[in-house]
Amino acid sequence: MDWLESIRYIIQDGIQLGLIWSLMTLGIFISFRVLDLADLTAEGTITLGSAITISLIESGMNPLVSTLIALVGGFLAGMITGILHTKLKIPAILAGIISMTGLYTINLRIMGKAAIFTQADTIYSFFRKMINNPFFANTITTLIIVVIFFFILYWFFGTEIGMSIRATGMNQKMARAQGINTHVMIILGLAIANALIAMSGALHAQSNKFANMDIGKGTIVIGLASIIIGEVIFGKRSFKNWLISVILGSIIYQALVAIAIALGMDPNDLKLLQAILIAVILALPLIRKAWFTRKKEVTNHA
């Protein structure tokens, strides 16, 4: 039946794209939730990851090595934003805009043009050669990578340095009073965040075998929406639970986008849908409070 086929495609899109974008969402989670900073570098970093990876693969480099270099590129981009913010005292949001603006030219120089394609093997080719179903092959590859990064992040943020980064995000003055170098922690935190974002861009580019300058548009909105959806549905009882919520939120968000497209929504209107979705979710606590207050007043008058 047609509706069963539509549901299957929606689930597949949600899982496949959601897992790829979950690394980007984890990166934004680190800057936005852990460090409590609005970092706009993401829109340039995700393009950087895709540009570096496809350019190197097309030149004949091993896909895994190309992906790791893209990871390092994102790490360096985050470091620059952190240095602009901490050492030059530029507000975080402006530091991100400066880095994002500079990355536009860098990304264009790396690719040489607005879009590049490759027919060479990518990191997904290993399982694609073993499994005939492209969805299963891609999903297994991405899932393995996401699980690896999940455990690395869970372990790292449980170490002394990771706890210092979390303490810096909670209260910088208190962290400094405990002898933590908050400037170093902010720089390191933003570097890790943007490394994850660049990794997401690298996976997206290899999954589709192309990179272009438009991939970064709306990155912040997608990431924030995924984080908020995950938190609302699955909660944040512990740091491990929080990380899982972010990953699942990314999958659900992509499924919602797939549903909107399946219902006939113009793809050009998706940005408006994203904005409305975030506004509604952010307003939920206030709406819930107003509803309970109203219900209590009605009960008291009854």
51-107 pLDDT, tens digit per residue, is 999 999 999 999 999 999 999 999 999 999 999 999 999 999 999 999 999 999 999
pTM score, two decimals? 0.91
Residues with Cβ within 8 Å of 97's Cβ and at least 6 positions away in sequence, in order, are: 40
Q: In this predicted structure, what is the pLDDT of residue 198?
A: 97
Encoded amino acid at 67, one letter: T
What is the separation, in whole angstroms, between the first and last Cα of the chain?
51
Torsion of Cα atoms, 46 then 52 then 58 then 59, to 10°: 180
> Got the DSSP string for 59-128?
TT--HHHHHHHHHHHHHHHHHHHHHHHHTS---HHHHHHHHHHHHHHHHHHHHSSSEEE--S--TTHHHH
**C-alpha R_g of the chain:** 20
Residue 258 has pLDDT above 70, yes or no: yes
- Position with higher pLDDT, 162 vs 286: 162
Residue 25 pLDDT more than 90? Answer: yes
Lowest pLDDT segment from 46-55, 174-183, 226-235: 226-235
Residue 136 has pLDDT above 60, yes or no: yes
Higher pLDDT, 215 or 192: 192
Question: 98-132 pLDDT, tens per residue?
Answer: 999 999 999 999 998 888 998 899 999 988 888 88
Residue 302 has pLDDT above 70, yes or no: no
The more confident residue out of 17 and 283 is 17
